[in-house]
Structure 1
Amino acid sequence: MLVYSLYFIFLLVVESVTSQHVRIQHMDVDTHHDVVIDTQTPHFSWQLAQEYDSNGYLIKDIKQIAYHIIVTKVINNEVVWNSGYVSSSSSTHIFYKGVPLISDTRYTVTIKYYTTQHQSQWYIAHFRTALFSLTDWAGQWIGSNNINMNQLRTVVTMKLTRIQSATVFISGIGYYQLYIEGQQIDKTRRLDVGWTTYQQRTLYSSYDLTEIFNTTNQLGIGIMLGQGWYNRQQWIIGPGARPDLSEQYGSPRVLMQLNIVYIDGTNQSIVTDSSWLGREGEHRYDSVYMGTTMDLRAVRSCWSCAKFIDPYSLWINASVLPSPVNFTAGGQLSLQTMDPIRIGPDALHIATSGNKGNVDGVQGGSLTDGGILKPISQDEVNGQVFDLGQNFAGWCKLSSLNAPKSTIIQLRYAELRYSRGQNGIDFAGLYYENLANIAVMDTVILNGTGNETFEPLFTYHGFRYLLVNGYDNINKDNIECYNAHSETTLIGNFSSSSDVLNQIQHNILWSQLSNSMSIPTDCPQRNERRGWLGDAGLSIDETLFNFDYVNFYLNFLTMISDNQLPDGSVSDTVPFTVGFSPADPNWGTAYVTITWYLYEHTGDISIIEKYYNGIQAWIDCLTNQHQKTGLAKMYFYWGDWATVDRTANTSLTSSYAYLRDVHTFINMSRLLNHTENVQKYTKLYQELANEFHNVFYNTHLNVYVDGSQAMNILALALPDVVPVSLRTNVLNSLINNIVTTGHFTGGIVSVAPLYPLLSIEGHHDLALKLAQSISYPSYGYMFHNDIQNATTTWELWNTLPQGATASLNHHMFNSIGAWFYRYLAGIELNGLQTITIYPRMSYDADLLSYVKAEVVAIKGSIRVEWSRTSVNTVNLSIVIPTNMDAIVTFDSLIKNGQCVKLMCDNEIIWMRGEMSDEIKLLRDINGVNDLSENKLRSTMSVRVASGEYTFVAYWK
């Protein structure tokens, strides 16, 4: 009877499993309730469910052997693709192979997978398509060049029958908000649509309004417009800009099309045209940089309602305006496939299993608290000053405002505040010097009706401190501030025994989100906020460990491609506003780097396929530059930016980026089996490697160039550049320089390979000491100084000395975050094939005694936790997702030591014998095999299948 009961329980467990976290075009249907795609051949991914036996233990080595996918058109239940039973272990990026999908149509995808033990239940997900062709659009761009027409409205009268679907497609630029019958659609969605080079590609969004339009047969539609980036005031053209990008941008405008399908099969479309009415609303002025002005005396209640009548304001017919897209030059109107900028709980989904709230010892706001910050303190200093306790990007809302009509209240924002007596300053107030030439001020004029609310629209600020002037009755309870950023999911979690590393991780997360505003910007507080490629390329690996920003960066790659010239050159920024073209090689490398890391983190080889030709053209552009000057005079503009001594800018820096791009492109070519390019660029790399050494090696000093840290780091980081016979001397020179100096002296380019280089080359202890330093210059100094303890990453090592104008919220130094995951936790994703778990260990156990990390990859959650229980013993617990394998490597705990015993799940699986050093497992442990030893590195490795394992390794 007991056996039967256990069998019955097992059947219940097996029959209840289903696909988890199904993705359509990288969108997780669990966090995207309305999936819209812009391709006729989408791809699908899913996770296999973790399964537990009757005793509650995780079942190991679950492998998929087949799948079955069915795609159905909702309107008539027509099956448009039935894959049938497909023998395959692949559960990611399975491309649709049915009849071409149709524009503006709703579908379901049904997925089942099979393992050696069982088959899953069917999983059903829904998605719909965008407008695939320009001919599918019927509306016109409307607005006004004569007045500030930022409110537009119309009334829709529908048939007296139930509708089957109502779908709106809308693009409002600079920004827009959509209202139906007085209610904003998707209230958490802000600063939409994303910033692009509008002539080349303007984005549009789509909403499913079926439920709303089934309530009545007459509805009012309203659209509010903001200047956004479609404004000459905020459009600065840099040197060398393309002539076709320098045209004037203008007044806000909107294109909208509402498609209604009735249950009787008939259709109706409502579009923007000159019949719409518009006016200047209460939103008098807006600027991304300068802030907003709102006059609440001009508010008209329910102005987007069908029965609205305005006895005061003049509403006039909208004008038909030109499209921002230059279609004759190949411009496109495209669906915004990346997630929008949001505020509140909808902005950040949490996929990780741990660290809800801050780790003990970490200062600043908690990312997992819903995205709304309240002041932690209030002072009366030339107004009311509020400290939010965290530097971030967004804005503040004031409520319960009770003052006479026409009262003017102003809000100002800053990252830093003065303290009386500090640096010789005899007053206390906000620090505006690092705002450059922008005002950063939101202004509201009250209507005097009592209990009024003010929230600025179509702008954002980078700040920690808020100053309220003109209203002394404000208090902390009347203020809430919104952390705004492109919507994403927190998929990474890292913590350790080091308070310094934990604070760095906190600062990385906040600075990354603060600079994810439809494009990866550089900083959120001053007149900058550009899509600098250098910043984006340096932080991409860290970002993808922490956040699900795949579509965000795919959009950025498309923008780089849009801006690429026929000669292959890309620009320093996209949209190309400042900088140069061709870009500094360490900026242009983002095209290559982002593409590569997106593949490594997702296993989606189609990403490489899509941008491969453009990347090749960029590398060929660099080759043409090289042929003019050689590596000795390879061009650069920014070099190793933000160095400690501001001196490490040489052609070696740009040559480093060039060689690294060629080497990465060779790896891409191997993946795509482009053998001719493998041979061609391998030969090129070998020639460049020889030239690099011959040109930059200083035979008198036996170092590269001047022997500075940056020069030696970059040379050593390139494969096969430093001759084997010289490598030890160059490495020792670097180590001696760091030890003698006591700190790192380079900038954003050289710090990225520094920590991995030290960990790989046997100097992991030194890497940990540098990473945990709190003296100037270091990451730790940013939050251990006399002026302000940072809660985000600084722009410079020395941002804070008196008179500094740099940002306190940058992400270009965030590259160290990837080292946390790849080397401290030891998680290498490798395109999600066989992953590697290889945590590096210090010889000094006190440097770091504990690490816990998790990465929720497309195939499932990867978890690593290790602790040093003694000088010669480490405990390592891991979880490998279903349908995956991993190579687990144990690093040496003792210099020149040997592993003497391995245990797994409380069983001894190997011991070093007195008479024999045979490397062979002593007993079979489910899921563990292929034991091996690397004597050169003194490491031990095993291969494990999916499941949960606890190892103990002993060394002497």
Structure 2
Amino acid sequence: MLTIQNVTLNYAPELHGVESMPVVGWAINSDRKNVEQTSWQLQLSRDAAFSQIVFDSGKVADDRSQNITLSGIELAPSVWYFVRVKISDNHGQQSDWSEAAGFISGLPGDQWQAEFISVEGPEEKDSSKGTLLRNTFAIEDAAEVASVIVHASALGLYKLYVNGQKVGQDELAPGWTSYHHHLLYQTYDLTALVTVGDNAIAASVGAGWYKGDMSFNRKRNYYGDRTAFICQIVVTLRDGSQRRYGTDASWLGTDSPVLFSEIYDGEVYDARREIPGWHSVDCDTARWRQAEVVAGNKGVLHAQGASTVQAIDTLAPQALIVTPRGETVIDFGQNLTGWVAFRVRGRAGDKVTLRHFEVLDAEGNVYLDNLRTAKQRIDYTLSGAGEEAWHPSFTFQGFRYVHVECWPGEINAENFSAVVLHSQMASTGEFACSNPSLNQLHHNILWGLKGNFVDVPTDCPQRDERLGWTGDAQIFCRTASYLMQTRNFFAKWLRDLHYDQTAEGGVPHVVPDILSKKCDDNWLLSQGTHSAAAWADAAVINPWTLYLMYGDKEVLRQQYPSMKAWIEFMRAHAVDNKWSYKLQFGDWVALDAKEGSYFGATPNDLTCMAYYSWSTLLFAKAAKALGNQADYETYSALHRDIVDSFQREFFTPTGRLAARTQTAHILALYFNLVPDAFRARTIDTLVELLAEHDGHLVTGFVGTPYFCHALSENGRASEAWQLLLKDDFPSWLYQVKAGATTIWEHWDGIKPDGTMWSPDMNSFNHYAYGAIGEWLYRAAAGIDTDEEQPGFKHIRIKPVIGGDLTWLKARYRSGYGDIVVHWQVEPGGDTQRHVELRVTVPHNTRATVILPAECQLMATDNIAFSAINNECQATVGSGEYRFAYRL
């Protein structure tokens, strides 16, 4: 039986707000093997019953079931649309219509009649208080109403309410973007929340990233000095006509019980100041003041649609601790990002004070030093009205532990819970194996993603930083895209990267960029705030990675000018293809750095040229994918020139790489910069450098992500496994043995004696080194895509068996369906190992299974293998397969 499951719109199951026809995809279910789609038909309707069809593709002979783009469809604003699909396959079967996937169309900039409004005055530019705004609108005849849609955004952060109920599940909306160029609005369906007669619409507004106290510089008002709110309600009647209501000077406002709220420092809330029914129709507004229309560029408003920040999970306390210093501490057992929700009873004026932190010190006491100036503090004043339940609104904390500094009465752990916040992304990766430490490492990598993908890919979620460092995002992008569906998350962030590029094409160190022109007094960034190798290359590497993982040309098209501008920036600053520009981080915090330095021993000239080569190659491939033949030829030639310059600059005539560091050899190998005649020597030298440190890495941000790949792709899989499984300092598993639940910023964030790395830069939730997760999926499990047929339309399955593991199982939920690899190893009667490999290939894809050339096949599931490129290969269609062989 042939059926369709998981129809997606821009890779999401549903979209709330989209201004053009989304990319459509679907997965196929069948009880047969080798299923390939032969045709599809897609319909678009204004209603879920498909009685108002506005587009019908007819039967299209096409095998694509992902990345379907439909041109020429104009969407009416602020209404629901529904998409359904039916297909036929190569076995002569036809499906029924799929279940419909729905989306709400957005509101293009020229159709916004609403205005930005505020009840903050210019004199309150240094205030971090919250404000409330409200108005009413009327619904005359519910029977005539087809839908009530609202589009909302803010200069600051907002929460939206209708008739006393919070609208939607979003938090920290509208998120953080390059506000002057790119302000997102969210879209919600209010139909079920409104009634006949008057309806109240209200918003609570906070400072957030827009005007708050941000970055380690602790400066504020980066984008403006007044918060503001905007929303437009669109009532669509059954005859198709629309009525619109929006924010204007008729709205009323007042101060909220949020006395102070900042991203880093937490929130101060006085429940005694709560206004009963403030978001309901019957609120007494006699003391409210008139809102003021403020200047705001509605032309930069863009629909978000998906991947908003939400409360994703809730964790219960694991322990209530009294430290040696007598501090009462709640341990949630997991380092996370979010906030604490609590229930409390007491008298009016009683206080609750909570401090959030990541680790206990060597004596088991509260450790706050690594937060730097971030307070991560919650102060709540009780109203005294029975049991009170509360959590903050416009801040988030990075923590595992909470110090209860003040609490009325007895502290009971059952009154607390940790709410996990991150951008909403579907889970796509699962990994487990026979080594519990590796399983914990995978867990730590995943939670590092969760903790740092809060609207932007931050470096860390706890201290006074939490910035979108481009280097971290570039390093981790492929790993993140195995773990979760990151296409919409990164596509949004990459728009801001483009907007924040310099006129010359330079890419900021952080996106959104709040450091440029703000760091004159910073010891490091006064040297430059943009265009560092490996950091700025996120402009090219991240869009290309999304193309590989999702087959998505839309982000490539969106980012193509940005990608090209970055290549041209490097070319403009290059002499004989060796480029440099102001501050370069190099192999940041590598362990081969000089004492007291953050800069690794690998020369910046080498890292700059290596990444120049790599980004130019990827951009040439992007040009080819988009059909831009002229650019493909131009930048392919430039890439060849850079490689030639690199080899002349860094390789001696006898094949010695001039920079004798692990990272130099890793980059040369992984970026294919080694002359063929010298490859064996280069890999041998890398292994020697590894042995010189007793099998340990001494790499930093640049070398670490590629280390195991450089080994396993060059015939040294055993050394890659040995490196991964080291559990003493420095290693990934050292952190696991130390009790980590996320990835650390430093290999020895906590030293073997329990003391801490320098508190000025010692995050315990810093995902960059979690990039090893890519190797777990791509190499150990062997699930890889093919750039000629990206998005896993053609799958390469080439597991790297090793590490003394007896079994490993990984699952990746591609757009086509689940790809599963499960291998088991049993010692043979002789020196050989017996391997059983089970593979699941989703429908409408094909996979090439690649085994070692020296393997002895025992069971092939009637699949013929051939010797190709010194490997044993077979190509299969969809289905489940079992192979057995000896190694």
TM-score greater than 0.5 by the shorter chain: yes
1:705 to 1:96, Cα distance in 2 relative to 1, 3 A? same
User: Could you report, residue by residue, the CA deviation over 1:194-216 in whole angstroms, capped at 9, with x for unpaired residues?
Assistant: 10111111111010011112x33
Q: Which moved more, 1:203-212 or 1:636-645?
A: 636-645
Q: Confirm or deny: 8 A CA contact 2:119 2:254 kept in the other structure.
A: no
1:950 to 1:458, Cα distance in 2 relative to 1, 3 A? same
Q: Confirm or deny: 8 A CA contact 1:494 1:852 kept in the other structure.
A: yes
Give the CA deviation at 1:78.
Answer: 4.3
Q: 1:413 aligns with which of 347, 353, 356?
A: 356
Q: Secondary structure at the match of 2:721?
A: helix
1:798 aligns with 2:748: yes
Q: 1:566 maps to which residue?
A: 503
1:150 aligns with 2:131: yes
Q: Which amino acid aligns with 2:111?
A: T
Q: 2:391 maps to which residue?
A: 455
1:172 to 1:382, Cα distance in 2 relative to 1, 3 A? farther
Q: Distance in 2 between matches of 1:882 and 1:232?
A: 49
Give the CA deviation at 1:664.
Answer: 1.0
Alignment of 1:277-356 (within 5 A): 277-309=252-284, 314-323=287-296, 325=297, 332-343=300-311, 347=312
1:438 aligns with 2:374: yes
User: Could you report, residue by residue, the CA deviation over 1:223-258 in whole angstroms, capped at 9, with x for unpaired residues?
Assistant: 10111101152267899xxxxx99652122100111
Q: Which amino acid aligns with 2:539?
A: Y
Q: 1:534 maps to which residue?
A: 471
Give the CA deviation at 1:857.
Answer: 0.3
Q: Distance in 2 between matches of 1:889 and 1:335?
A: 43
Q: Confirm or deny: 8 A CA contact 1:110 1:122 kept in the other structure.
A: yes
Q: Secondary structure at the match of 1:211?
A: coil
Q: Distance in 2 between matches of 1:863 and 1:954?
A: 21
Give the CA deviation at 1:891.
Answer: 2.4
Q: 1:375 maps to which residue?
A: 318
Q: Distance in 2 between matches of 1:398 and 1:129?
A: 37
Q: Distance in 1 between matches of 2:3 and 2:859?
A: 34
Q: Which amino acid aligns with 1:621?
A: F
Q: Which amino acid aligns with 1:293?
A: V
1:639 aligns with 2:586: yes
Q: 2:154 maps to which residue?
A: 172
Q: Which moved more, 1:666-675 or 1:793-802?
A: 666-675
Q: Which moved more, 1:580-589 or 1:775-784?
A: 580-589
1:248 to 1:70, Cα distance in 2 relative to 1, 3 A? closer
Q: Which moved more, 1:87-96 or 1:144-153?
A: 144-153
Q: Confirm or deny: 8 A CA contact 1:520 1:531 kept in the other structure.
A: yes
1:335 to 1:745, Cα distance in 2 relative to 1, 3 A? same
Q: Confirm or deny: 8 A CA contact 2:809 2:822 kept in the other structure.
A: yes
Q: Confirm or deny: 8 A CA contact 2:18 2:103 kept in the other structure.
A: no
Q: 1:752 maps to which residue?
A: 705
Q: 1:901 maps to which residue?
A: 857
Q: 1:129 maps to which residue?
A: 105
Q: Confirm or deny: 8 A CA contact 1:835 1:885 kept in the other structure.
A: yes
Q: Distance in 1 between matches of 2:471 and 2:368?
A: 26
Alignment of 1:767-846 (within 5 A): 767-785=720-738, 789-801=739-751, 802-803=755-756, 804-805=758-759, 806-830=762-786, 831=790, 832-842=792-802
1:872 to 1:149, Cα distance in 2 relative to 1, 3 A? closer
Over the residues paired in the alignment, what is the CA RMSD in angstroms? 2.3
Q: Secondary structure at the match of 1:809?
A: coil
Q: 2:852 maps to which residue?
A: 891
Q: Distance in 1 between matches of 2:826 and 2:542?
A: 39
Q: 1:947 maps to which residue?
A: 879
Q: 1:249 aligns with which of 202, 224, 243?
A: 224
Q: Distance in 1 between matches of 2:217 and 2:553?
A: 35
Q: Distance in 2 between matches of 1:402 and 1:947?
A: 58
Q: Distance in 1 between matches of 2:330 and 2:216?
A: 33
Q: Which amino acid aligns with 2:837?
A: L
Q: 1:89 aligns with which of 53, 60, 63?
A: 63
Q: Which amino acid aligns with 1:199?
A: H
Q: 1:694 maps to which residue?
A: 648
Q: Confirm or deny: 8 A CA contact 2:79 2:236 kept in the other structure.
A: no
Q: Distance in 2 between matches of 1:618 and 1:632?
A: 12
Alignment of 1:96-115 (within 5 A): 96-115=70-89
Q: Confirm or deny: 8 A CA contact 1:545 1:821 kept in the other structure.
A: yes
Q: Which amino acid aligns with 2:805?
A: L
User: Could you report, residue by residue, the CA deviation over 1:883-941 in whole angstroms, capped at 9, with x for unpaired residues?
Assistant: 1110001125xxxxx33334134xxxxxxxxxxxxxxxxxxx3xx45x211474xx311
Q: 1:11 maps to which residue?
A: none
Give the CA deviation at 1:159.
Answer: 1.2
Q: 1:388 maps to which residue?
A: 332
Give the CA deviation at 1:673.
Answer: 3.2
Q: Distance in 2 between matches of 1:759 and 1:42?
A: 39
User: Could you report, residue by residue, the CA deviation over 1:397-433 in whole angstroms, capped at 9, with x for unpaired residues?
Assistant: 120x22222112210011011253xxxxxxx521111
Alignment of 1:204-223 (within 5 A): 204-213=185-194, 215-223=195-203
Q: Confirm or deny: 8 A CA contact 1:300 1:310 kept in the other structure.
A: no
Q: Secondary structure at the match of 1:189?
A: coil
Q: Which amino acid aligns with 2:175?
A: G
Q: Distance in 2 between matches of 1:438 and 1:247?
A: 18
Q: 1:665 aligns with which of 614, 619, 636?
A: 619
Q: Confirm or deny: 8 A CA contact 1:713 1:734 kept in the other structure.
A: yes
Q: Confirm or deny: 8 A CA contact 1:405 1:447 kept in the other structure.
A: yes
1:875 aligns with 2:836: yes
Q: Which amino acid aligns with 2:661?
A: S
Q: Which amino acid aligns with 2:851?
A: F
Q: Which amino acid aligns with 1:838?
A: K
Q: Secondary structure at the match of 2:680?
A: helix
User: Could you report, residue by residue, the CA deviation over 1:730-783 in whole angstroms, capped at 9, with x for unpaired residues?
Assistant: 221110121121111111111111111100111111111111111100111112
Q: Which amino acid aligns with 1:891?
A: P
Q: 2:664 maps to which residue?
A: 711
1:83 to 1:755, Cα distance in 2 relative to 1, 3 A? same
Give the CA deviation at 1:518.
Answer: 0.7
> Aligned residue pairs: how many?
843
Alignment of 1:429-508 (within 5 A): 429-471=365-407, 472-508=409-445
Q: Secondary structure at the match of 2:475?
A: helix
Unmatched runs of 5 consecutive residues or more in structure 1: 1-13, 53-58, 240-244, 348-369, 421-427, 893-897, 906-924
Give the CA deviation at 1:42.
Answer: 2.5
Q: 1:677 aligns with which of 631, 638, 641?
A: 631
Q: 1:765 maps to which residue?
A: 718
1:264 to 1:283, Cα distance in 2 relative to 1, 3 A? same
1:67 aligns with 2:40: yes
Q: 1:728 maps to which residue?
A: 680
Q: Which amino acid aligns with 2:618?
A: T
Give the CA deviation at 1:319.
Answer: 1.4
Q: 2:519 maps to which residue?
A: none
Q: 1:192 aligns with which of 173, 181, 188?
A: 173
Q: Which amino acid aligns with 1:433?
A: D
Q: Distance in 1 between matches of 2:249 and 2:130?
A: 13
Alignment of 1:39-50 (within 5 A): 39-49=19-29
Unmatched runs of 5 consecutive residues or more in structure 2: 516-524, 594-599
User: Could you report, residue by residue, the CA deviation over 1:41-88 in whole angstroms, capped at 9, with x for unpaired residues?
Assistant: 322111111x22xxxxxx201111000111123499543321111111
Q: Which amino acid aligns with 1:218?
A: D
1:443 to 1:765, Cα distance in 2 relative to 1, 3 A? same
Q: Distance in 1 between matches of 2:624 and 2:36?
A: 27
Give the CA deviation at 1:484.
Answer: 0.8
Give the CA deviation at 1:309.
Answer: 2.1
Q: 2:522 maps to which residue?
A: none
Give the CA deviation at 1:266.
Answer: 5.0
Give the CA deviation at 1:606.
Answer: 2.8
Q: Which moved more, 1:547-556 or 1:870-879?
A: 870-879
Q: 2:10 maps to which residue?
A: 25
